Amino acid sequence: MARKTKLKTEIRKERKRKEPTLPQLKQRLQQVFNKFIRLRDYGKPCISCGRKRLLQAGHFYSVKGYDGLRYDEYNVHGECGGCNGFDDMHLLGYSENLKERIGIEEYEALKQRAADYKREGYKFLKSEIIELIEIYKSKVKILEQKGSNNFAE
């Protein structure tokens, strides 16, 4: 009897080891989502400073404070490394240019989603993350087939 219980425990542990955790899935999604953003915005100027440079995926509402918006296409745009990582004032330019890029209506809707997130929070489900990974893999594939893949990894 003890042997059967031990075997069942081992089988459960093995299954658990093979299944990616929610943080691992979110990391995978972030990688494919960022690649999508870089492809989508390839050839556009930095959303913050307007210079043509190698772009990263820059969040208007930060991942740290607004995790529920981390994969929101209206919240993430091509941003140069200098603005994305080192310029505290980048959000001023980002805000103005974002209004132009997505329009006032979408900008206001994004602000509302951010306020809702702060008020209510949001927790991603594993199934949701897995679905988003597939969606963004597909979007990346489409953009690569269109020839927009001239960016640095």
Centroid of chain to Cα 128: 13
pLDDT digits (tens, 9 = 90+) for 13-71: 666 668 899 999 999 999 999 999 999 999 999 999 999 999 999 999 999 999 999 99
Mean of all residue pLDDT scores within the chain:
90
**Measured on CA atoms in the order 74, 79, 82, 83, is the torsion positive or negative?**
negative
pLDDT digits (tens, 9 = 90+) for 60-110: 999 999 999 999 999 999 999 999 987 778 899 999 999 999 999 999 999
Per DSSP, 74 falls in state T
Spatial CA neighbour of 59 closest among 78, 41, 46: 78
Centroid of chain to Cα 139: 13
User: Whole-angstrom Cα distance, residue 18 to residue 41?
Assistant: 35
pTM summary value = 0.83
